[in-house]
């Protein structure tokens, strides 16, 4: 019998728990699901007598280590900054660990200790990062096997609302952690490379430097650069590639409107606002505008950011009730927390709403003296607000990787990303059985 500890029972774990449940009986697995929210953990564990739920304060070292000690493998679905203490405990107690989050420098630094302890720390095995790695490495390896030389690699992913449920001017609803959406891009300058030139986009310009991407049957999207694309040159074996660019997809118009919040300072999470208890949506917005008792909030905003009165930007902001005297409804908040609270009132998914994951890759390469280009895309729609495409595309790869480690199909210890053929081939094959597939097509080569 093998025992799994799942830490975190948030909205991305529904499909993961279902996957483990499907295999638990035959494989003789048990699982403990823990969360600070006991009711949420119990909801995830209900319906399977091999599962149990507990409350766990992850910051309590004694509680945390006690739970980890009983497991053979730990799945950490915590916020990214909380993975490292769990990983350190796993190494000291010789327990494997799986997480969907980006590898931090602190996690990378644990590699030698993990190797010495014989422990696998599998990271970046969700959707993005995760399925993007699996699907990109498959095509990259195929191109290299033919003797192709990579010139361009681009990869974009978006967690969006499906067209059937798209009923607001932003073309967006929350299908995952709203805090991550509000703080997107705020971690420092975005880095990438175009035609051999290093490029950097500071946060205050990020949502104005976008490009359009057309996906067959799903129309046009806009993409903005995401994090540090340069680190994936080494990961993907693309050290000498002239162009590498990773980004996030939204519907056209979203980024221009989101830039209003960035320019005003509403996405700042570094300080507490004063007088939050008495704020309305309108007064919160007015907090970031110049003092002028004669001009309205609307006029001050349009003047400050040079927004025409008939702009679609104003329609988007009005739809969020930003100009209304609606009570904010918080006792204390940073600007980012206040903005998130306002957005959650309008961007929440209704019970029958469908979300949609869109992933797109572009591979430009030379082969036998010819320039060629392949585009690859995947679109996955959720069933409803509980059974989301986001939960599927995050949870299923995590579940499959967990099964492969427990069945000793992945055995090499250390800090890993899912980039080797032995990992990506079986996971992509199993995802295909679940209907998560990529469509590839050769297109006209276009450089920059």
Does an H or E element contain 376, and which? strand 370-381
| Residue ranges matching CATH 3.40.50.720 in the chain | 2-122
**Total length of the chain:** 448
Whether residue 339 contacts residue 273, with contact meaning beta carbons closer than 8 Å, is answered with no
Whether residue 221 contacts residue 249, with contact meaning beta carbons closer than 8 Å, is answered with yes
Between β-strands 210-215 and 197-201, what pairing exists: parallel, antiparallel or unpaired?
Answer: unpaired
Whether residue 372 contacts residue 446, with contact meaning beta carbons closer than 8 Å, is answered with no
The CATH number that domain 131-256+351-443 falls under is: 3.30.360.10
pLDDT at res. 448: 56
CA distance 295 to 290: 10
Among 389, 393, 363, 390, residue whose Cα is nearest residue 376:
363
pLDDT at res. 12: 86
- E-assigned strands of 82-131? 96-99, 120-122
369 forms beta bridges with none
- To the nearest 10°, report the CA torsion of 263, 268, 274, 278: 70
- Under DSSP, the state recorded for 45 is H
CATH 3.90.79.10 for the 2-122 domain, yes or no: no
Segments of the chain scoring below 70 in pLDDT: 447-448
Whether residue 128 contacts residue 147, with contact meaning beta carbons closer than 8 Å, is answered with no
Main-chain dihedrals φ then ψ at residue 360, nearest 5 degrees: -145, 130
């Amino acid at each position: 019998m093998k025992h799994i500890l799942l830490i975190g029972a948030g909205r991305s774990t529904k499909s993961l728990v279902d996957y483990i449940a499907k295999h638990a009986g035959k494989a003789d697995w048990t699982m403990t699901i823990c969360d600070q929210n006991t009711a949420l953990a119990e909801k995830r564990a209900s319906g399977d007598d091999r599962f149990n739920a507990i409350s766990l304060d992850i910051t309590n070292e004694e509680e945390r280590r006690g739970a980890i000690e009983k497991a053979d493998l730990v799945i950490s679905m915590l916020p990214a900054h909380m993975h490292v203490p769990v990983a350190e405990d796993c190494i000291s107690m010789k327990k494997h660990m799986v997480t969907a989050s980006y590898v931090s420098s602190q996690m990378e630094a644990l590699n030698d200790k993990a190797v010495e302890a014989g422990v696998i720390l599998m990271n970046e095995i969700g959707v993005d990062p995760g399925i993007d790695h699996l699907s990109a490495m498959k095509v990259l390896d195929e191109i290299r096997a033919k003797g192709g030389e990579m010139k361009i690699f681009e990869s974009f992913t978006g967690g969006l609302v499906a067209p059937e449920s798209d009923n607001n001017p932003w073309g967006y609803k929350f299908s995952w952690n709203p805090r991550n959406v509000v703080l997107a891009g705020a971690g420092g300058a975005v880095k990438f490379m175009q035609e051999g030139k290093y490029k950097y986009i500071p946060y205050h310009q990020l949502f104005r430097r976008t490009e359009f991407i057309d996906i067959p049957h799903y129309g046009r999207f806009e993409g903005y650069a995401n994090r540090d694309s340069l680190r994936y040159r080494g990961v993907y074996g693309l050290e000498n590639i002239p162009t590498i660019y990773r980004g996030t997809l939204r519907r056209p118009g979203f980024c221009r409107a989101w830039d209003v919040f960035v320019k005003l300072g509403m996405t700042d999470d570094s300080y507490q606002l004063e007088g939050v208890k008495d704020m309305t949506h309108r007064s919160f917005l007015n907090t970031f505008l110049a003092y002028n008792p004669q001009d309205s909030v609307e006029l001050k905003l349009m003047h400050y950011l040079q927004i025409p009165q008939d702009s679609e930007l104003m329609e988007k902001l009005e739809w969020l009730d930003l100009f209304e005297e609606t009570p904010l409804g918080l006792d204390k908040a940073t600007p980012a927390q206040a903005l998130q609270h306002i957005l959650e009132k309008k961007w929440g998914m209704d019970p029958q709403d469908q979300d949609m994951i869109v992933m797109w890759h572009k591979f430009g390469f030379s082969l036998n003296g010819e320039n060629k280009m392949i585009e690859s895309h995947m679109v996955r729609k959720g069933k409803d607000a509980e059974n989301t495409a986001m939960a599927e595309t995050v949870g299923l790869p995590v579940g499959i990787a967990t099964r492969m480690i427990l069945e000793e199909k992945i055995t090499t210890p250390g800090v890993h990303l899912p980039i080797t053929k032995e990992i990506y081939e079986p996971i992509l094959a199993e995802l295909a059985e679940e209907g998560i597939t990529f469509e590839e097509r050769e297109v006209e080569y276009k450089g920059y």
